[in-house]
Chain A
């Protein structure tokens, strides 16, 4: 029983982190129909920046967010304006896969060049610290990562629902031409949407680096599960991605008990296949994906 409860707690914490890591992916697709293979490469880049920051300043890696979040936002706008916006609309989705695949390789290559292939881990005095919660152990770093996920996702939600920019972004997501007719500068909004997605990668990468060993090719291990999450959650829906991430995280951790790690990992892909067969628009998202 205690193992089940422990796994449940670990699953929820892991799901929270997965939701944060996947949020950007679903935004890019929602706003621009861009399949952003390089998202996880940027996560790893943010993780390396957090590592560099802590190693050189001795300060907590979370303080690096003050620099990396705005930096990644600007970087995102630049990537959208300079690269993605040049793709032809008719083949945007397909070509964006190729383009961002190349971007991922460039980021990985640069990381290898600058930081070498050596596996890195942020030296944290509290990396092994834990709290007891009804008999389950909760690692402090996992709790902090979960907290970062909640704050970021709630912030994103509020931004999309309440602000004018959020309205413009959602209008662009729903119907680009109609939004343009109503005076929304959709190109600008698309650039900001991309920047916003990449800004979440800065937070996600830092959260990831708190409890993981990082190396330049790590992003290939992440992109598959993250893609599965946004498809199950419904492409373009941040809330859908969050629900899907939590369910898949918990499901994987619980299945791990009877099935072992290898089979538990296939759970993501089984969920992906079932979604594509039964409900291609995703289980928790809007109607967006129906058109694709």
Chain B
């Protein structure tokens, strides 16, 4: 048991003692909020700061899920109630938030925050208290190397595997047209970099030479010099391990240097509805992995898309879908275990159930390995004829992969 854990348990003891002695008044110390009251679910999200945009998307997804559950009779016959705190995209704050949710707000369940950088400290707190921790946005390898047995990532694939179908398609190309060289630019962020590294390793093994391998800090504002390096290398393909604004700025900078690759793939940004607005007409041929599409015909997806579109007037994106999936996964465990309270016995039952079962969700059937890695891969989308369409894998495609990519 390390020091931080001892201190947390010590703090828990102190809080319990205060509660027993009646200093806090109100709720009793044992039993949490069990019984017939609402099931209280705590979550901390980056509603301000660097991740505020996806953070708000996840919040919309969680709230839509809660409303949908309540409209349909609740969970175990009880209404669900969300408590959402703002961690300001700050890793110290997110840990304190989960401490507060579990200790002083005494929630029954917790949902994960957004971004790998916030998921790890949050999961640590959840583990210390024995809580089930299902999260919508921690896809990087680091998340699964920490020894969490209470964590489950509610999406089809981890970051390393996001470009898997693209790697297979490139490796399967005939020798004459197959790209020989590749340039990679990735944000120094475990998720973004993980996506690019996954593809880089697979292509390098297949003989595609890496000519640029650039990593930039998240606060990079000028992409001119990175673009200059890539343009100078004349790489056949360019791959971005990106979030949103960096991908947009990098693409524009590459265009300004008249670099015309045969294939351009960027994680995250191209599936964002703002992307074509930001890039203009030159999106044609740009590729992106995605864990979700509103068009997927999984049984619960249509219900989700209809409900969400009714509530918000627009179809959900990946952030909302991952949040909704988190809700579905936790709900499946709660329904199967028949409990939703903070007691270690109940939380253990929920965790054990998820380790042994598959859950049907809006992103497809999910099951996990012992570290919480989902066992799937991402779809690959491409801008074809001005619209973003699924091009890989073959059995899900809506359009043919365009290669080489038209000039941008």
How many A residues, CB 8 Å from partner? 45
Give A218 to B282 CA distance when docked, in angstroms: 25
Smallest Cβ-Cβ distance to A122: which chain B residue = B278
Query: Does B11 make an interface contact (CB < 8 A)?
Result: no
- Indicate whether A137 sits within 8 Å of B220 (C-beta atoms), given known contacts A123-B277, A213-B278, A260-B214: no
CB closest chain-B residue, reference A208: B221
B228 within 8 A of A: yes
User: CB-defined interface of B82-94 with A at 8 Å, one 1/0 digit per residue?
Assistant: 0000000000000
A112 at the interface (CB under 8 A from B): yes
The answer, yes or no, to whether B192 is at the interface (CB within 8 Å) is: no
Residues 191-214 of chain A, each 1 if its beta carbon lies under 8 Å from chain B, else 0: 000000000000000000001110
Q: Taking the complex as formed, is B344 at the interface, i.e. its CB lies under 8 A from any CB of chain A?
A: no
Q: Which residues of A contact B353 (CB under 8 A)?
A: none
| A-B Cβ contacts below 8 A, count | 111
Task: Classify chain B's interface size.
Answer: 35 or more
A residues near B16, Cβ cutoff 8 Å: none
With A123-B277, A261-B215, A261-B216 known to touch, is A221 a contact of B228 (CB < 8 Å)? no
Distance in angstroms between the alpha carbons of A212 and B248 in the assembled complex = 9
Q: How many Å lie between the Cα of A261 and that of B227 in the bound state?
A: 11
> From DSSP, what is the main secondary structure of chain A's interface residues?
helix
- Given A3-B232, A262-B215, A256 contacting B226 (CB threshold 8 A): yes
Do the beta carbons of A128 and B252 come within 8 Å of each other?
A: yes
User: Chain B nearest CB: distance from A216 CB in Å?
Assistant: 8
Say yes or no: is B245 at the interface (Cβ < 8 Å to chain A): yes
- A265 interface residue (CB < 8 Å to B): yes
Chain A residues with CB below 8 A from B226, complex form? 256, 261
Asked if B56 is at the interface of the complex by the 8 Å CB criterion, the answer is yes
Give complex CA distance A121, B56 in Å. Answer: 20
Residue numbers in B under 8 Å from A260 (CB-CB): 214-215
Q: A117-B53, A137-B256 are in contact. Are A261 and B220 (CB under 8 A)?
A: yes
Residues of A within 8 A of B397 (CB): none
B233-260: CB near A (< 8 Å → 1, else 0) gives: 0000000000011001100110111100
**With A119-B278, A123-B277, A137-B257 in contact, is A212–B225 under 8 Å at CB?**
no
Which of A13, A129, A256 counts the most B-chain CB atoms under 10 A from its CB?
Answer: A256
B50 at the A interface (CB under 8 A): yes
Query: Does B181 count as interface, using CB distance less than 8 angstroms?
Result: no
Given contacts A6-B232, A112-B52, A261-B214, is CB(A123)–CB(B221) below 8 Å?
no
A215 pairs with B232, CB closer than 8 A? no
Q: CA of A85 to CA of B408 in the docked complex: distance in angstroms?
A: 52
Q: Are A130 and B232 in contact (CB under 8 A)?
A: no
> When chains A and B are docked, how far (Å) is the Cα of A262 from the Cα of B49?
21
Sample (22) of A-B pairs whose CB atoms are under 8 Å apart: A3-B232, A7-B228, A118-B274, A121-B248, A123-B280, A127-B255, A127-B280, A129-B256, A137-B257, A141-B256, A142-B224, A142-B256, A217-B52, A220-B219, A221-B221, A253-B225, A256-B226, A260-B214, A261-B215, A261-B216, A261-B220, A265-B219
Name the 4 nearest CB pairs between A and B, nearest first. Answer: A139-B256, A261-B216, A117-B52, A128-B255
Given A6-B232, A128-B252, A212-B221, 19 further pairs, Cβ under 8 A: A3-B229, A117-B52, A119-B245, A128-B255, A128-B280, A137-B258, A139-B224, A139-B257, A142-B224, A213-B278, A215-B245, A217-B50, A217-B52, A222-B221, A257-B225, A260-B215, A261-B225, A261-B226, A265-B220
